[in-house]
Chain A
Amino acid sequence: MATAPAPLPDAQLAREWLATMTLIRRFEERAGEMYARAKVGGFLHLSIGEEATIVGSVRALRESDYVISTYRSHGHALVRGTPPANVMAELFGRIDGCSGGRGGSMHMFDLSRRFMGGYGIVGGNLPIAAGIALASDQLETDEVTLCTFGDGASNQGTFGETLNLAALWRLPVLFMVTNNQFGMGTALGRHSAVTDLQRKGESLGVPGMRCDGMDVVDTHRVLAEAAARVREQRRPVLVEAVTYRFRGHSMADPEQYRSKEEVARWRERDPISTFSARLLEEGILDEDALAGIDAQALAQVDAAVEFAEASPYPRPESLYDDVYVLDGEVRGTYTTRRSAAAPTGDRPGAAVNDEIPQQLTEALAVGEDGGEPLREGS
């Protein structure tokens, strides 16, 4: 942890960081409400309490750098600039979602902003991050890939494999372990023999750093230094961001593994209220401006919900879209969409057995002209 507070950035940047953290907080709160109202399905993992790790790290990057994250990634999409409306629409399973309603909460994606995805498999994103960095290296760009994952992921085989390979091949990956003290409901000291996570990469040739993940300024300071090292020295760095998740692992978490007192202690270090207080104290903001930032975030979230509600569900006919890329040089012959007549009844996603051969045979009927290879019906 930093002994003295890191210096603030200029006022405009400081306000932007606060506004983005506030947006993430308000977005997550509203997402939780929408989940409780059954507007959102599946699992919902909120990052409330971890906003400084998200904003401090991503703001230390260039826009051309890549970000890849986990199943707790609404904030990573938002900080990268994906409109809250599209993130909320994804939670609602609508066509305007940032993954077209295909991914849901755990699988956000925005290629245009180089947000390379949220991934539902713990540790599954580390190899992909190294692959992205490999492409940067091979194509001789100076991009950095920020790969965030939780303390629980540091026990997966991919952690050791990927850190070793990234160090061995000098790949520009900035690994950030967001240590929120729990792998789901298992406390750090109960899941990792080494709890000083910044040291977990040492034997793999990856130097470690640590930041106070409850302080956006310190997080930014450390990540900026780490990103510069990665970019200039062409070698990976592992940063441990020490933080705490205020809410349960997911919405379905009775939180029997920790005490209310422990949560309350961490909440005293709330990254948004402490940063707000500092900005007030140093005269960067006044109370009116602070209220304005919050009001703006709430208005954005209101508009996002309204947008998501109005966005249509994906059409049943789109069920088979994008299973394959159909415009490759090898023509035709892929699984294709079902017949237009097929999706009847109240479960349009249910497979009808006798369609399977139809899809396969239809695939064979694809022409040799390289044109539109799909036909509706049979």
Chain B
Amino acid sequence: MALMRYRDALRQALAEELRRDQRVMLMGEDIGVFGGAFKVTDGLLEEFGERRIRDTPISENTIVGMGVGAAMTGLRPVVELMTINFSLLAFDQIVNHAAHIHYMFAGQATVPLVIRMPQGAGHQLGPTHSHCLEALFLHIPGLLVAVPATAADAKGLLKSAIRDENPVVFIEHEALYGVRGEVPEDPEHLVHFGAARIAREGSDVTIVGISRMALTAEQAAETLAGEHGVQAEVIDPRTLRPLDLQSILESVRKTNRCVIVEEGWPHGGVGANLAALITEQAFDHLDAPIRRVTGADVPMPYSKPLEDIAYPHPADVVSAALAVLEGAPAAGAGRR
């Protein structure tokens, strides 16, 4: 194990897979000479050269579409989009083509493409650079969706994604790039898709945290234990497609209470979907309504005090967990 930042773990995954497989190549805006907007790809150009580390023009839809075509004909491209908001420019290629080609052409072609992108609030980047849109991708059959919260998972999931035959939307979090964690150094260390991480065991309430919110949930669990004598079980699904629903259900059957924490919007969100699944599968085990803690239902504001209250913090999760434990009815779809 080695202690390293989330961004360095991602870079290590890319470098190892670039060394392992000549078909792997990277495309993206300013990933080469500039080193990547968030420095994930820093130094890769020097080691692998400009044919495999390709700086692209600002043409998101075409970059992703080229990744689709190249993946269909023998390469394993990894495309970086500078933020998840920019992926909206590429939605045509991601949905109509990357996700559908294998099915639409009855399995004749595969699209082993990875599309990396960071999401998340906290840097005052305002309404076009700060959102959490994993729910949009969760919606789409044909895609795999990863949302790593730790450095180890960032590395292990990215390596798995590159080796997978399916198109993967790989969602990083801007606020996590500098966070350190222990990372296995074995170049064959993979984290399998569809296997949740039990971040903390507990018996009183299940807290499911998505992307960065897995860490927020862990912080909340510390407070719950230290200040309220509540033992929360924290689950980080790590991938949303496929989803390790079984681990979540097992936990809910044990704790009988559930809080879902996500940074994205409440309506049609990851938590809305997950709450439906839990209700359908484990209704009889629930002692209280599931409660969701989500981002506020607004475009992300720039001003710091507003931004701060537009996404969940540990205190919000603590409140929700205590409310669920009291059996109080949920107050609706908002975060408070």
Contact = CB atoms under 8 A, between A and B. Distances in A.
A135 B57 contact: no
B216 interface: no
Interface stretch (B40-48, B96-104, B225-233, B285-293): B96-104
B166 A363 contact: no
Contacts of A287: none
Nearest to A136: B73
Interface string B74-110: 1101000000000000001100110001111111111
Contact of B280 (A321, A332, A357): A357
A134 B75 contact: yes
Given A161-B61, A360-B245, A327 B165 contact: yes
A66 interface: yes
A335 B71 contact: no
B105 A356 contact: no
Contacts of A250: none
Interface string A112-130: 0000110111001011111
A323 B107 CA distance: 8
Contacts of A127: 61-66, 68-69, 93
Contact of A131 (B59, B61, B67, B244): B67
A325 interface: yes
B277 interface: yes
A135 B110 contact: no
Contacts of B194: 332-334, 363-364
Given A109-B105, A134-B70, A139-B74, A124 B277 contact: no
Contacts of A138: 25, 51, 70, 75
Contacts of A185: none
Interface stretch (A162-170, A222-230, A301-309, A338-346): A162-170
A162 B73 contact: no
23 contacts: A121-B96, A121-B97, A124-B92, A127-B63, A127-B65, A127-B66, A129-B69, A131-B70, A132-B72, A134-B75, A158-B65, A161-B57, A161-B62, A162-B62, A165-B59, A168-B57, A322-B102, A323-B103, A325-B165, A330-B160, A330-B161, A333-B239, A361-B281
Given A116-B73, A132-B70, A328-B166, 5 more contacts: A99-B108, A102-B105, A109-B105, A129-B69, A323-B102
Contacts of A365: 246
B226 to A, nearest CB: 33
Nearest to A157: B61
B270 to A, nearest CB: 13
Contacts of A207: none
Interface string B139-178: 0011010000000000000001101111000000000000
B242 A322 contact: no
A109 B64 contact: no
A335 B141 contact: yes
Contacts, number: 201
A322 B105 CA distance: 9
A357 B77 CA distance: 32
A281 B131 CA distance: 68
Contacts of B25: 138
Contact of B166 (A128, A168, A325): A325
Given A124-B92, A323-B141, A335-B241, A135 B74 contact: yes
Interface size on B, as a range, is: 35 or more
Contact of A361 (B57, B72, B246): B246
B72 A128 contact: yes
A128 B66 contact: yes
Interface residues of A, number: 62
Contact of B73 (A132, A322, A325, A330): A132
Nearest to A336: B242
B200 interface: no
A132 B142 contact: no
Contacts of B109: 109, 111, 116-117
A322 B92 contact: no
Contacts of B213: none
B165 A99 contact: no
Contact of B242 (A110, A111, A162, A360): A360
Contacts of B103: 102, 322-323
A333 B192 contact: yes
Given A99-B105, A333-B193, A363 B242 contact: yes
Nearest to A117: B105
Interface string A136-153: 101100000000000000
B242 A335 contact: yes
A312 interface: no
Contacts of A120: 96
Contact of B97 (A100, A111, A128): A128
Contacts of B97: 119, 121, 124, 128
Interface string B188-210: 00101111000000000000000
A287 to B, nearest CB: 42
A131 B193 contact: no
A364 B246 contact: yes
Given A325-B165, A330-B192, A364-B244, A128 B69 contact: yes
A107 B105 CA distance: 7
A124 B65 contact: yes
The CB with the most chain B CB atoms within 10 A, among A101, A119, A128, A331, is that of A128
Given A127-B68, A138-B25, A328-B163, A109 B193 contact: no
Contacts of A107: 104-105
Given A328-B163, A360-B277, A100 B107 contact: yes
Interface string A206-248: 0000000000000000000000000000000000000000000
Contacts of A325: 102, 107, 110, 164-166
Given A111-B105, A357-B277, A357-B280, A128 B68 contact: yes
B195 A135 contact: no
